[in-house]
Amino acid sequence: MACGGALAVAAAAFLGAGILGLRGHYFAIATLGLGIAAGELASGWQFIGAGGGMVPPLFPGALGGRERFFYYLCFAIAAATFPVLRWLYAGRFGLALNAIRDDEDKAEAMGLRTTRYKITAWCICAFFLGLAGGAVGNLTGFIDPREVAFAGSTLGAVIVHLPKELFWTYLLGWQRVALGLLIVVIVVFFPTGILGWARVRWPERFGHRVEGA
């Protein structure tokens, strides 16, 4: 897990300099392409199991003990993640991220090095994701590179993976076409994300005061 967190931070720092300079649709497409490319490259890399995946070491304990241990471990990671991110978001770093989210051009005009802040935020997220990946791989007992190539927010995971399972069940043969169309719709109509769209659509529900005419 420690190696996973460290490698994830290193990858985020290396890739962030190129990808996080993009904005809008270009950024969404670049990150999507990166996920697909990472999955395909991993599926051909024999050192990590290639297309056959990896089986982690057996957990030394009674039957069912592995699942229980790693469920609690995942809960502990989640319990630690939220207060750490809340602490970071409550300070100067959070103010900078809010400024970038609201208007990146104005934030740059005020002297903020927006790409550097975004890379830092990406590295922080990658660290916790790397920790969780180590735990989840042991929890499931099998790691398929193409199945774990995509990771994101809880809401995004539900929106992508639930239709994906439905497509694979009811649209067999056309499942990849349907999933591709879903991704295109999300990229075109929700370039700032689902919550970003909801924040613009219903600002009063996100703590933004709406003045009368």
pLDDT digits (tens, 9 = 90+) for 68-91: 888 999 899 989 998 998 998 888
Q: Indicate the residue type of 116.
A: R
Distance set, CA 6 to CA 27, 62, 84 (Å): 24, 31, 17
Per residue in 161-181, pLDDT tens?
788 788 888 887 788 788 788
User: In the Cβ-directed half-sphere of 172, how many Cα atoms lie within 13 Å?
Assistant: 2
DSSP-H helix ranges across the chain: 2-19, 24-43, 65-89, 92-102, 104-109, 114-140, 154-170, 175-189, 194-201
Residue 144: per-residue pLDDT: 75
Q: Tell me: pLDDT of 151 over 70.
A: no
Query: What does the DSSP assignment read for 140-151?
Result: HS-B-TTTSS--
DSSP state of 54: B
Per residue in 199-212, pLDDT tens?
788 877 766 555 55
Residue 153: per-residue pLDDT: 66
Residue 121: per-residue pLDDT: 92
Per-chain mean pLDDT for the chain: 82
139: number of Cβ within 10 Å: 18
**Lookup: tokens for 56:** 């982690």
Task: Give the residue with greater pLDDT, 138 vs 36.
Answer: 138
Check residue 24 and give left, alpha or beta (phi > 0: left; psi -120 to 50: alpha).
left
DSSP state of 124: H
Name the band, by pLDDT with cuts 50, 70 and 90, for residue 183. Answer: confident
Name the band, by pLDDT with cuts 50, 70 and 90, for residue 189. Answer: confident
Residue 124: per-residue pLDDT: 93
Residue 148: per-residue pLDDT: 66
